Amino acid sequence: MDATVYQAAGGAAGMRALAEAWHRRCLADPVAAHPFEHPGHPQHLDRLAAYWGEALGGPDDYTRTMGDHSHVLRMHSGNGEHEELDRRAIACFEGALADAGLADEERLRTTMQRWFRWSIDEMNTHPHDPGAVPEGLPMPRWTWDGPVA
């Protein structure tokens, strides 16, 4: 398969549909809804779709116009450890793949599931101190074979 994961998932439209489906599922889950119960960025879904897209081989829209990986890690840091929330967010993502029409092709589904689990672990690297996140971290990239070093 020559296409990037981003392309195989439908590009920008696929990422937006996935972000919407995941957000909808999280809001419906009593545990996963917690991070979304406070007012967030008004373009949260667009930003999320751009971040996911860039990480999966799409254009650099997120890092070019919205922030770097350090910024994203800081947003997710300082909340302590939250294993149940993580499990629920992963379950919501796996359901969202189906909702967005991305679960039928096995290689795409399993690659995206692996990526999302890896991303959750990445977001949890600084559970207690956002100030510990280094400046200028590059966007982590994910291919069919996993993370790119």
Tens-place pLDDT, residues 10-29: 999 999 999 999 999 999 99
Task: Answer yes or no: are the C-beta atoms of 53 and 61 closer than 8 Å.
Answer: yes
Binding site per annotation, positions: 71
Residue 146's SS3 state is: strand
pLDDT of residue 97: 98
Q: In the prediction, which pLDDT does 107 show?
A: 96
Rg (CA), the chain: 15
Q: What is the CATH number of the domain that holds 84?
A: 1.10.490.10
Look up residue 83 and give its amino acid. Answer: E
Q: What is the pLDDT of residues 48-57, one digit of tens each?
A: 999 999 999 9
Query: CB of 96 within 8 A of CB of 49?
Result: no
pTM: 0.88
Q: Known binding site for heme: residues?
A: 71
Low-confidence ranges of the chain (pLDDT < 50): none
Instruction: Count structural domains, the chain.
Output: 1
- C-alpha–C-alpha distance, residues 44 and 48, integer Å: 6
78 sits in the region (left: phi over 0; alpha: psi -120 to 50; else beta) called left
The pLDDT, as a whole number, for residue 67 is: 85
Q: What is the pLDDT of residue 125?
A: 77
Count the helices and strands in the chain (H runs, E runs).
7, 2
Could you list the residue range(s) of the whole structural domain that residue 85 is in? 5-148
